[in-house]
Structure 1
Amino acid sequence: MKLSQILKPDAIKVISSASSKKRLLQDVGDLAHSAYHLDQEHVVEALLERESLGPTGVGHGVALPHARLAGIDEVSGIFLRLEKPVDFDSVDRQPVDIVFALFAPEEAGVEHLKALALVSRTLRDSLLCKKLRANADAATLHAILISEQDMKAA
């Protein structure tokens, strides 16, 4: 599995500010609707439900919210870079400015886990995150994410 398979170029956005974790998840839902035609309200509810089990802020300014959704047939991703970090109840208590949300079909066991592991491994790279934080253009962010993984695979 490659990031290019789960992250469309139009599923990336830079957000100037989000006032809260809930507002940020609503921004994720809005982008999921425009990029993948998913029901925004259903997406936000599923993400909030998953967050109630434990926060998905993995540390170092990165959050990986994820949910399984009825009615979709493949794993899809959303990438947001925040110009102003927001509190996300992260494990290291640091605010988040990089968000990679994943949506998987309800019955996608292994594929969902593979996608989550791929994104987690990718965003654990501090140099990559530094490049992402230094760019505000969605097309550039997509290219950085896709090319970084391609270089590591080679």
Structure 2
Amino acid sequence: MALADLFPAEEDVLRLGPANKAELLELLATEAAERLGHSRKDILEALEGREKLGSTALGRGIALPHARMAGLDRPLAVLARLEQPIEFEARDGERVDLVFLVLWPEQNSEGFLPALSDICRSLRGSQLPRRLRKAGSAAEALSLLRAADQADDHNEEG
């Protein structure tokens, strides 16, 4: 699955201003609940439960909170750019300002790990995080995700 396929519309790119990790997870759960017609409480519990297993911060100011959930009829991915970096218990100690939320149907887990892997691969060693941080709009951020997919496709062919 292409990275841009996870974030197909500009609405999937948010600008948020949480004060801390707990507030960020609450904002993400509220947004996801509205989009999925699912319980905000259940989504928040799933995200918090995953964070208890270990921080989903990837390093370099990026976090990937994710969970598989019963009752979802489709995956949901949201990119959030934070107005101010927040503490996220990253191994490298960097505060987080780019967040990729991924929620996946538990009953159809095929594609979940590849989707997480695709996000990580697109962000590792590339200029994409820096460019996403500088994007002036949600449309520009989405365009950058699409360009990253094309670059990945080109690298796989070569």
The TM-score with structure 1 as length reference comes to 0.91
Q: Which residue of 1 aligns with 2:116?
A: 116
Query: Residue type of the partner of 2:62?
Result: V
**How far is the alpha carbon of 1:64 from its aligned partner?**
0.5
Question: Residue 107 of structure 1 aligns to a residue in which SS?
Answer: helix
Q: Which residue of 1 aligns with 2:25?
A: 25
Report Cα offsets for 1:68-114 as digits up to 9, x if no partner: 11111333211100120000011111100000011111133441101
Change in 2 beyond 3 A, CA 1:142/1:35: farther
The TM-score with structure 2 as length reference comes to 0.89
Change in 2 beyond 3 A, CA 1:11/1:38: farther
| Unaligned ranges ≥5, structure 2 | none
Question: Residue 127 of structure 2 aligns to a residue in which SS?
Answer: helix
Query: C-alpha distance in 2, partners of 1:66/1:79?
Result: 12
Aligned-residue Cα RMSD (Å) equals: 1.6
Query: C-alpha distance in 2, partners of 1:11/1:44?
Result: 18
Report Cα offsets for 1:23-69 as digits up to 9, x if no partner: 00111112213333332221111000000011101100000010011
Q: Which residue of 2 aligns with 1:151?
A: 151
Query: C-alpha distance in 2, partners of 1:36/1:136?
Result: 27
Q: Which residue of 1 aligns with 2:83?
A: 83
| Unaligned ranges ≥5, structure 1 | none
Q: Which residue of 1 aligns with 2:104?
A: 104
**How far is the alpha carbon of 1:126 from its aligned partner?**
3.8
Change in 2 beyond 3 A, CA 1:38/1:151: farther
Change in 2 beyond 3 A, CA 1:146/1:35: farther
Report Cα offsets for 1:93-138 as digits up to 9, x if no partner: 1100000011111133441101110111112244111111112411
- Specify the structure having the higher radius of gyration (Cα): 2
